[in-house]
Structure 1
């Protein structure tokens, strides 16, 4: 269902990139809120195990906006293969979910 709330996760390599991307996502009304948290990622890339500081972006949006948000992130992201993952919200405060829907209305 397109009105189902979800969280879209992505990461950025710098705090500035994370801030700029979060701001652009909210300004475009593709998410009601984007939280940014510093994380340390351990991942496999091109045959190597890497350890890097990253900034995790958690965008609160609706499943119906995912394709548009994914394209938006891809256009602006510095990574060759950015993480763009949708996680459904299966329950939540009715008032919060209503606000989320209103804030991400086309």
Structure 2
């Protein structure tokens, strides 16, 4: 069975999260995604303690497409060093896994 992942990152605004989701899903790197928030964040950054609001963007993809999705998220993200993490789904319905696999499958040109 195909390994399905939930991949997440955070953005500084809802609009930034939607742009990132639209670009990744439009490129076929994820089958779907959600933008949720705002969430309160507490963190260390550049040696300083900080707080702020962020929007969490989560994607559904396959392990086979993870590296491409990670590269895309880092390239198109507003931040220089964004968090990009992935968690494998321990369980998922067969129909759901098939959908994620089908939507994220690389399209191969017909040479014939």
Provide the TM-score with structure 1 as the length reference.
Answer: 0.93
- Tell me the C-alpha RMSD between the 2 structures: 1.2
Secondary structure class of the residue paired with 1:29? coil
Query: After the TM superposition, which residues 55-74 of structure 1 pair with which residues of structure 2 at under 5 Å, given as runs?
Result: 55-74=55-74
Runs of 4+ in 1 over 4 A off after TM superposition: none
Shift of residue 49, structure 1, vs aligned partner:
1.6
Instruction: Give the alignment of 1:68-87 within 5 angstroms.
Output: 68-87=68-87
**CA–CA distance in structure 1, aligned partners of residues 36 and 55 of structure 2:** 5
| Separation (CA, whole Å) in 1 of partners of 2:46 and 2:67 | 27
Rounded Cα–Cα distance in structure 1 between residues aligned with 2:104 and 2:73: 16
Unmatched segments (≥5 aa) in structure 1? none
1:8-61 Cα deviation digits (max 9, x unpaired): 111111111101110111111100111111111111111222111111011000
Gapped regions of structure 2 (runs ≥ 5): 107-112
Determine which structure has more spread, i.e. the larger CA radius of gyration.
Answer: 2
How many residue pairs are counted as aligned between the two chains? 105
1:25-64 map, 5 Å: 25-38=24-37, 39-64=39-64
- CA distance in structure 1 between the aligned counterparts of 2:20 and 2:96, rounded to whole angstroms: 23
| TM-score, normalised relative to structure 2 | 0.89
